[in-house]
Each structure stands twice: as C-alpha cells, then as structure tokens.
Amino acid sequence: MKLLLRTNAITMAAIAVMLAFSITPLSAKDYNIAVGDGGGGTQEALGKAFIEALKKSTGGKHTGTLFLNGQLGSEQDTVNNAAIGTLDFSILAINNITPFSPTVGSLTLPYVILSLEDAEKVTQGPIGEQLIKNTVRDAGVRIIAWAYSGFRVLTNSKRPVKSVADLKGLVIRVPKNAIMIDTYKAWGVSPTPMAWSETFAGLQQKVVDGQDNPYITVYAMKFDEVQKYVTNIRYIFSIEPLIISEATYQSLSDEDKAAVIKAGKEATTASAKFLRESESRIKADLVKKGMEISDPENNEKEFIDLATKAVWPKFYESIGGVERLNEVLKELGRDPVK
Ligand code: MLT
C-alpha cells in the first residue's frame, strides 16, 4: 500500500513537471535592458514599471533585467547596439538619440518644453507618434515609453552661477549633442562633449567643472559627492525614452508586440507619477547633502534670449523645417516663429 502511494506521488510529480513545461512557452524571454543612470532615478523607475507591466501583459511569459549605470555601454553606444540587434532595450536621455535621428531635436531645442505637462502633451500626442516613426526610420530603434525627469539644472564644483557672465571660465561637460553644444556657445562658453558613462569620473578628476542634468539624475548619479553649486536653469526638460531594437520588435508575434506597447504606456504613466512624487524630496535631500542652489537672475531672461535667438534658427533644417518647431509650439499653445 505504502509503495503504491509513493508510486502515485512520483507519477503526479512527473505529470506536474510535464505540464509545467508544456504550458511555459519556449519563446519566453528575460530581456536585457540597458540603463544609463544609477539606481534611484527616473530611468530605473521607468524600467521597473515596464518590467512589471510586461510580466502582467504577457501573463508572466516575458520579463526583463535592468543593467544600471551604463554597464551595457554609453547611452549613445546602446542606440547603435540596438540598431544592429545586439541589444534589445535601452533607457536613455532623448539628447543621446538626437545624433541618430535629428528630428527628435525638436524636443531638446532650448526653452521649448517648459513643464512636465508640456512634455506629456508633446510625447503622448501626434508629434510623439511622428517622432517614433522617424526614430524607427533613421536609427533602427522604436520608442515604446517615455520617462520624464525634470529640467536639466546646471551643477559645478567652483562657484555659484547666477548669470551668463558667471559661466565664464567654467569647463562644462555636455553630451555629444550639437544643440546643447551650441546653446553653451551662445552663453559664451565652449563646452566639453563627453559620454555620459565617463561623466562622474570627469567631474571627480576635475577634467570638467560642471554639467547639467535633472535633480533626480544628479541624485541617482551621486553627483553631490563631486559638485557643490546648482543653478535652476530650465533650458531643457529632460525626456528619457525606453527604446526597443526594431529588429527585436519585428521578431515578436502580434500579441507580444501589443503587450510590449501596452506595458510601455503603463510605464510612461508611472514615470510621470514618480517625477511628481519625488522631485521636491530629492531636491531637499541634495541640499541636506551640502549642495547650494541659486536661481538665475532676471527670471533667466539673458539665458533664454541668447539661446533661443542663436540656437533655434540654426537647427530648423535638421529637425525637419521651422514648421516642425511650430507644430510643437502650437500643440503647447504658444505663438509660432516666422
Ligand atoms: C546625458 O547627460 O548624457 C544624459 O542626459 C544622461 C542621462 O541619461 O541621464
């Protein structure tokens, strides 16, 4: 009798194992997701929300693993790797996609996006849809979610900066992004282009004195350890998409494609919530850690006038014509430029 029970138990266990294998699809995947920033920031929040939503929308079939802090390469390298299909997903700042698909520059022209609401409106409407098509066409990657990180504030290790004149003599790191390089030139300094993955070391070793990125990114990258002064400039509202290699996307079944898009939409909503709930706490934390915050003089007027006058016209052609900028301005309820 005992022997019979034991045999039955073994048979049941074998059937359970067989069943488990037969209902786990062979194509189940754990995708590698490159993340440019360290933990605690918007990029990680977007990535975590995407993985959770993907698991949910595929009934647990697909998942993903985040590789933080540029472990899978600099942000611009991850665009190349996704384009050739050696990387499936990456979360990175939009300014690091612009060199591969210049029309997304309409989102990084200085002083175009002036709030989180502006960023949501532009990315989640017809303009965002068109930019997604353009990135597939130009760069072989598809944007499936948007993270919102706040304004890129200026930090440096030398002195408080309140005016354009105060910038003189500071060596500022910028991404390899023509719009950002030209913005600093309009402010009278020649910035140093440097990959994101090298920026902490560059600041620490004083190769550069400063950089700009949102408060949340400054916090995630522990820049408070190597930077003291912050200036609340608002020239770029940082948008950080999740991209999927177009080759990977096209290899998915229709059902999986829909699941990925749905997960991306949910992650986008979660990212905006994360920013709304955490930016002021993180800013206060950075002050506690010793950072000193200044506002630019005269409501930033000099910064705004110099940047918009010199930079906007220079990039009309690369973003697809002045009419592309006017579409964005119209969507945001602002007057067009002539
Ligand atoms: C950069 O400055 O290169 C990026 O904005 C960094 C980031 O992805 O947070």
Which atom of ligand 1 is nearest the CA belonging to 149?
A: 9
**Ordered domains of the chain (ranges, CATH):** 28-148+239-277 (3.40.190.170), 153-236+285-331 (3.40.190.170)
Residue bearing the CA closest to ligand 1, atom 4 = 93
pLDDT at residue number 263: 98
In terms of residues, how long is the chain? 338
pLDDT at residue number 338: 84
Between residues 301 and 25, which one has the greater pLDDT?
301
- Predicted confidence (pLDDT) per residue in 240-281, tens digit: 999 999 999 999 999 999 999 999 999 999 999 999 999 999
Query: 170 near 190, Cβ under 8 Å?
Result: no
Q: Is the pLDDT of residue 128 over 60?
A: yes
* Residue of 95, 179, 181, 212 to test ligand 1 pocket, by largest number of atoms within 8 Å of CB: 95
What is the helix (H) or strand (E) element at residue 163, kind and residue range? none
Q: What is the DSSP string of 108-131?
A: TSTTS--SHHHHHHHHHSHHHHHH
DSSP 74: -
Give the chain's radius of gyration (CA, Å): 23
Distance between CA atoms of 219 and 284, rounded to whole angstroms? 11
Res. 196 pLDDT band, cuts 50 70 90: very high
**Stretch 200-210: mean pLDDT, rounded?**
98
Other beta carbons within 10 angstroms of residue 113's beta carbon come to: 27
Q: Is the pLDDT of residue 221 over 80?
A: yes
**Stretch 48-68: mean pLDDT, rounded?**
97
Distance between CA atoms of 237 and 111, rounded to whole angstroms? 8
Q: Is the pLDDT of residue 19 over 90?
A: no
pLDDT at residue number 22: 40
* Residue of 96, 108, 199 to test ligand 1 pocket, by largest number of atoms within 8 Å of CB: 96
Which atom of ligand 1 is nearest the CA belonging to 217?
A: 9
Give 70 Cα–ligand 1 centroid separation in angstroms: 11
pLDDT at residue number 27: 76
Pocket lining: 95 vs ligand 1, CB cutoff 6 Å: yes
Pocket lining: 202 vs ligand 1, CB cutoff 6 Å: no
Token readout for 207 is 């190769």
Which atom of ligand 1 is nearest the CA belonging to 95?
A: 5
Which atom of ligand 1 is nearest the CA belonging to 41?
A: 9
Q: Is the pLDDT of residue 7 over 70?
A: no
Nearest alpha-carbon partner for 318 in 182, 188, 187: 182
Nearest alpha-carbon partner for 299 in 183, 97, 170, 162: 162
Distance between CA atoms of 307 and 297, rounded to whole angstroms? 15
pLDDT at residue number 116: 98
Res. 8 pLDDT band, cuts 50 70 90: low
